[in-house]
Amino acid sequence: MAKLAYTVSQAGLEVPALIGVDGQMTTALVAAGRPVPPPVMVRALLDSGSSVTAIAPWVFQRLNLSSRGRASTLTAAGQVGTNLFHVSLTILPLGQLIGPTFTLPAVWASELSVVLPDADVLIGLNVLLECKLLLDGPARAFFLEF
């Protein structure tokens, strides 16, 4: 089992991540001889209070992705309509681009309805349920095992 280790930041459970087009779209683009947009490096926070991962609109724009539908989500401000997208998500090791990575080739994500000061992505339960999250509060450390 691979393990990634992080320190709790002032923003919270912060991890470096890459958002890209999903695996199926990548395969289709390659088969058609078309370029695959490079994944986008983002600042992400783990958010066990979110059932679905939420991503800032600028990331979808950079990847030239279109919405796959709409859904309603409950936020602290109340019920909000949001666009849904299908993406790939990779959580990277802290401070390096080599080493084990936690990658999901196909993840449903909603569009963030507000700009967050410390993050571009809230990684929700749809991703967190695919790994083991260990939090050591007194040591201000957390770990992802997969």
Alpha-carbon distance of 109 to 122, in angstroms, equals 9
For residue 76, the model assigns a pLDDT of 64
What tokens appear for 74 in the block?
Answer: 């409950």
State residue 71's pLDDT score.
83
Q: What is the pLDDT of residue 80?
A: 77
Asked if 109 and 54 touch (Cβ cutoff 8 Å), the reply is yes
Read off the pLDDT band of 113 (50, 70, 90): confident
pLDDT digits (tens, 9 = 90+) for 68-89: 999 877 666 677 788 999 999 9
d(CA 120, CA 124): 13
Q: What is the pLDDT of residue 91?
A: 97
| 120: Cβ contacts below 8 Å, ≥ 6 apart | 42, 43, 44, 55, 56, 58, 59
Cα distance between residue 45 and residue 27, in whole Å: 29
- Express as a percent the part of the chain with pLDDT over 70: 97
Q: Which domains does the chain have, with CATH numbers?
A: 3-145 (2.40.70.10)
Q: Is residue 111 pLDDT above 90, yes or no?
A: yes
Secondary structure class of 69 (helix, strand, coil): strand
pLDDT tens by residue, 8-64: 999 999 999 999 999 999 999 999 999 999 999 999 999 998 889 999 999 999 999
Mean pLDDT of 124-142: 97
CB 90 within 8 A of CB 97: no
Q: Say if strands 121-123 and 102-111 run parallel, antiparallel, or are unpaired.
A: unpaired
Q: What is the pLDDT of residues 30-41, one digit of tens each?
A: 999 999 999 999
The CA distance from 111 to 3, in Å, is 29
Pairing of strands 102-111, 53-55: parallel
pLDDT for res 98: 78
